[in-house]
């Protein structure tokens, strides 16, 4: 989806930023996981990450437009 929503002139930079954000959040999870397990316990840690995932899903469901069946030009024009 990320490769579809950016205009051609900034697509490379947008993909780079999205990739860095993805790997950065993976790093945050990896670094905080064991500490959270010690502080909260194993079930609560997974519940915390689950709640964050649900909040993220609601955000994307409400705010990210559907791009299925649209050309890149149609998507660019809609922005």
75, 55 Cβ separation under 8 angstroms? no
- In a structure prediction context, what are the per-residue pLDDT tens digits for the chain, which is 79 residues long? 777 777 778 888 999 999 999 999 999 999 999 999 999 999 999 999 999 999 999 998 998 877 777 877 777 777 6
Q: Which domain holds residue 69?
A: 2-78
Domain count, the chain: 1
């Amino acid at each position: 989806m990320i490769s579809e929503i950016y205009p051609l002139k900034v697509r490379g930079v947008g993909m780079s930023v999205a990739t860095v954000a993805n790997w950065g959040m993976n790093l945050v999870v990896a670094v905080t996981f064991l500490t959270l397990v010690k502080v909260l316990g194993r079930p609560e840690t997974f519940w915390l990450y689950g709640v964050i995932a649900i909040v993220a899903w609601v955000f994307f469901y409400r705010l990210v437009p559907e791009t299925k069946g649209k050309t890149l030009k149609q998507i660019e024009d809609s922005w």
